[in-house]
């Protein structure tokens, strides 16, 4: 099997994997690990890729490009969802700290210090 067929196979697997919805927080680690492994394998194969030699390879190249654009869009969307989840987690953590020790944080009120002795 030629390199372009391998790149097409890996890209198709990644594309199909990304069509599944992002799982809940418990199963998310396996989902992201699969994406990372596929991207690494695809990266290594693309380094070995040569220009297409016939019409079939040209067709595969065009399919790889179109799937690659969809993969990039989906990865950007997933990254945004994960970023939102991280921000929610940080906010929840900060709120928990403020609740546990309300006097430890700086106040937003003005403070007056009497300079008289």
Smallest CA-to-CA distance from 88 within 80, 78, 77 is with 80
* Rounded-to-integer distance, Cα 4 and Cα 60, Å: 7
Taking residues 92-111, report their average pLDDT. Answer: 70
Structural domain harbouring 92: 3-99
Check residue 36 and give its pLDDT.
Answer: 94
Structural domains of the chain, count: 1
Neighbouring residues of 63: CB distance < 8 A, sequence distance ≥ 6? 8
Residue 13 has pLDDT above 90, yes or no: yes
Q: Which tens digit of pLDDT belongs to each residue from 65-76?
A: 999 999 999 999
Taking residues 70-97, report their average pLDDT. Answer: 90
Q: Which tens digit of pLDDT belongs to each residue from 42-51?
A: 999 999 988 8
Q: Specify the pTM.
A: 0.73
Q: Domain for residue 48, yes or no?
A: yes
Average pLDDT of every residue of the chain: 86
Whether residue 21 contacts residue 77, with contact meaning beta carbons closer than 8 Å, is answered with no
Q: Domain for residue 81, yes or no?
A: yes
Q: Domain for residue 84, yes or no?
A: yes
């Amino acid at each position: 099997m030629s390199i372009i067929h391998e790149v097409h196979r890996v890209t198709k697997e990644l594309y199909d994997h990304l069509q599944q919805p992002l799982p809940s927080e418990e199963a998310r680690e396996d989902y992201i690990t699969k994406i990372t492994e596929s991207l690494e394998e695809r990266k290594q194969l693309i380094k070995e890729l040569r220009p297409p030699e016939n019409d079939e390879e040209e067709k595969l190249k065009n399919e790889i490009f179109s799937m690659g654009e969809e993969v990039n869009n989906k990865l950007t969307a997933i990254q945004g969802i994960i970023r939102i989840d991280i921000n929610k987690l940080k906010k929840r953590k900060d709120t928990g700290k403020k609740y546990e020790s309300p006097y430890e944080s700086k106040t937003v009120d003005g403070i007056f210090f009497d300079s008289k002795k």
